[in-house]
């Protein structure tokens, strides 16, 4: 790579022309699946007041403590580039009265996110998420619906090399005893924990379970599991979810080590993990207390998931999945002379106005160079216009794949190339 003065910031990526069709394909396919499941799109600002994320994601999480891009505006307000979408969608619904409408409310989004993480394969500082949120029902069938949506989304993209892991992390009621047990357990390793986790031990020992430090990870491996502390209601919910997944034939593993790194989760949590890379392609869960946390007057349950689009594209590449058809130039119209040039310009304008991708020379090239260019851009057909063709009103169109030529009336060109 060239040694440039102005390089993209570490952990961010450009999408080049040769890659953008993949992004468009993925975004379109995911949106189609969302509509099939009854979800509608929302869009929202890239940044929010910092407090929104502190309150929802949780101020003892890695995301809030270590990874947020936070800055102060000229007016003195603390602003944060969104590290995820759930908090913003909750804010959007509250602010716009969407919870007063028809329930369940099903929304999806495609957004950029920002986290100050250590960049590595599949982990960036600016990345993109396809996410979905469903509000207004406590029924385990809604957990099943969201997981089924996620599964269909991956399969639609041609991704099948993954395992679905599910767990329940209970409600605040059953969490009390669990947190006590965790405190007791981690207290025995107090001095070995990293500085952040020593603080978490008092405030929220559950967050030690997803600390990225090696030593904390090793200690956490022997910690008590939430499943042993679930209350009857949470156990029943989890069993009903498993039965619902069995009913629609969705395979899963129960993994009691999944706790998720965001504070808002209650009951169901899940991850779709790619087998070959071990990367989490998509993750989510239920958050029945989040809306109440943001607006004490509202008791609305919610759940959802998000998936890293960069990871989806790599998984599709790993699976040699299709990114749809290439959008190639349908016809290149070459020319000789002024009359030919004028007719070519007019004809490509007419074709483009009628939905056909057409090109002509705009670089003053010789006919030979024009044809070379047509070949390089992969034009499906070519047509050459000179004085003769313009006078006759017809010309020979050549199919570049088969080499076949056929004489066409220039007035019929739209029907011919379509």
Segment interacting with ligand HAM (CB under 6 A) among 92-100, 114-122, 178-186, 318-326: 114-122
User: Quick check: bond before 68 cis, omega within 30?
Assistant: no
Segment interacting with ligand HAM (CB under 6 A) among 12-20, 120-128, 214-222, 239-247: 120-128
**How many CA atoms does the CB half-sphere of 320 hold within 13 Å?**
0
Segment interacting with ligand HAM (CB under 6 A) among 27-35, 117-125, 366-374, 392-400: 117-125
Segment interacting with ligand HAM (CB under 6 A) among 27-35, 169-177, 283-291, 383-391: 283-291
Name residues whose C-beta falls within 8 Å of residue 369's C-beta, 6 or more positions apart in sequence.
Answer: none
Phi, psi of 403 (to 5 degrees): 85, -5
**How many CA atoms does the CB half-sphere of 323 hold within 13 Å?**
20
CB-CB contact of 162 with 272 (8 Å): yes
Q: Could you please report the per-residue DSSP string of 111-180?
A: EEEE-----BTTB-SEEEEEEEEEES---HHHHHHHHHHHHHHHHHTT---EEEEEEE---HHHHHHHHH
Q: Is 154 in the site for ligand HAM (CB under 6 A)?
A: no
**Binding residues for ligand HAM, how many (CB under 6 A)?**
26
Q: Is 284 in the site for ligand HAM (CB under 6 A)?
A: yes
Q: Is 285 in the site for ligand HAM (CB under 6 A)?
A: yes
Q: Which is nearer to ligand HAM, 266 or 382 (CB)?
A: 266
Phi, psi of 350 (to 5 degrees): -60, -45
Q: Of 29, 61, 86, 381, which lies in the binding site for ligand HAM, with binding defined by CB under 6 A?
A: 86
Q: Is 304 in the site for ligand HAM (CB under 6 A)?
A: yes
Q: Which is nearer to ligand HAM, 149 or 229 (CB)?
A: 149
Q: How far is the CB of 119 from ligand HAM (least distance, A)?
A: 8
Q: Is 200 in the site for ligand HAM (CB under 6 A)?
A: no
313-316 — which CB contacts under 8 Å span 24+ positions?
Answer: 313/22, 313/23, 313/26, 314/122, 314/277, 315/154, 315/157, 315/159, 315/161, 315/162, 315/274, 315/277, 315/279, 315/281, 316/22, 316/26, 316/157, 316/158, 316/159
Q: Is 289 in the site for ligand HAM (CB under 6 A)?
A: no
Segment interacting with ligand HAM (CB under 6 A) among 15-23, 302-310, 323-331, 409-417: 302-310
Q: Of 25, 108, 127, 135, which lies in the binding site for ligand HAM, with binding defined by CB under 6 A?
A: 127
Q: Which is nearer to ligand HAM, 86 or 168 (CB)?
A: 86
d(CA 172, CA 168): 12
Q: How far is the CB of 122 from ligand HAM (least distance, A)?
A: 6
Q: How far is the CB of 260 from ligand HAM (least distance, A)?
A: 7
Phi, psi of 315 (to 5 degrees): -65, -35
Q: Is 294 in the site for ligand HAM (CB under 6 A)?
A: no
CB-CB contact of 261 with 66 (8 Å): no
Q: Is 307 in the site for ligand HAM (CB under 6 A)?
A: yes
Q: Is 84 in the site for ligand HAM (CB under 6 A)?
A: yes
Which element (helix H / strand E) includes 65? none
Quote the DSSP letter at residue 6.
S
Q: Of 56, 61, 129, 268, which lies in the binding site for ligand HAM, with binding defined by CB under 6 A?
A: 129
In the complex, the residues that contact ligand HAM under the rule CB under 6 A are 84-86, 115, 117, 122-124, 127, 129, 131, 133, 262, 280-285, 304-308, 310-311
């Amino acid at each position: 790579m060239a040694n440039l003065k102005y390089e993209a910031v570490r952990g961010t990526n450009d999408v080049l022309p040769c890659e953008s069709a993949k992004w468009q394909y993925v975004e379109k396919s995911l949106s189609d699946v969302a509509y099939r499941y009854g979800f509608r799109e929302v869009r929202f600002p890239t940044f929010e007041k910092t407090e929104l994320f502190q309150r929802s994601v949780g101020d003892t999480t890695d995301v809030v403590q270590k990874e947020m891009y936070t800055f102060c505006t000229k007016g003195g307000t603390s602003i944060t580039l969104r590290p995820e979408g759930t908090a913003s969608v909750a804010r959007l619904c509250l602010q716009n009265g969407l919870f007063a409408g028809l329930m369940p409310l099903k929304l999806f989004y495609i957004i950029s996110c920002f986290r100050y993480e250590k960049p590595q394969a599949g982990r960036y500082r600016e990345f993109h998420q396809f996410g979905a949120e469903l509000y207004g029902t406590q029924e385990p069938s809604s957990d099943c619906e969201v997981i089924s949506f996620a599964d269909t989304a991956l399969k639609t993209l041609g991704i099948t090399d993954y395992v679905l892991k599910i767990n329940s992390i209970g409600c605040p009621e059953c969490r009390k005893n669990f947190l006590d047990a965790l405190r007791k357990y981690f207290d025995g390793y107090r001095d070995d924990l990293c500085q952040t986790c020593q603080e978490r031990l008092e405030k929220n020992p559950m967050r030690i379970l997803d600390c990225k430090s090696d030593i904390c990870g090793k200690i956490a491996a022997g910690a008590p599991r939430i499943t042993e502390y679930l209350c009857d209601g949470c156990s029943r919910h989890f069993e009903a979810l498993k039965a619902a997944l069995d009913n629609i034939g969705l395979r899963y593993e129960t993994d009691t080590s999944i706790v998720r790194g965001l504070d808002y989760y209650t009951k169901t949590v899940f991850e779709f993990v790619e087998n070959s890379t071990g990367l989490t392609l998509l993750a989510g869960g239920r958050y029945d207390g989040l809306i109440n946390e943001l607006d004490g007057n509202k008791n609305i349950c919610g759940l959802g998931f998000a998936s890293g689009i960069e990871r989806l594209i790599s998984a599709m590449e790993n699976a040699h999945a299709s990114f749809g058809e290439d959008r190639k130039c349908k016809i290149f119209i070459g020319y000789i002379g002024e009359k030919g040039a004028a007719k070519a310009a007019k004809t490509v304008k007419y074709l483009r106005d009628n939905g056909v991708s057409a090109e002509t020379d705009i670089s003053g090239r010789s006919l030979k160079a024009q044809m070379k260019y047509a070949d390089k851009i992969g034009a499906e057909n070519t047509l050459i216009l000179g004085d003769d063709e313009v006078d006759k009103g017809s010309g020979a169109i050549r199919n570049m794949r088969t080499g076949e030529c056929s004489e066409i009336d220039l007035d019929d060109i739209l029907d011919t190339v379509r």
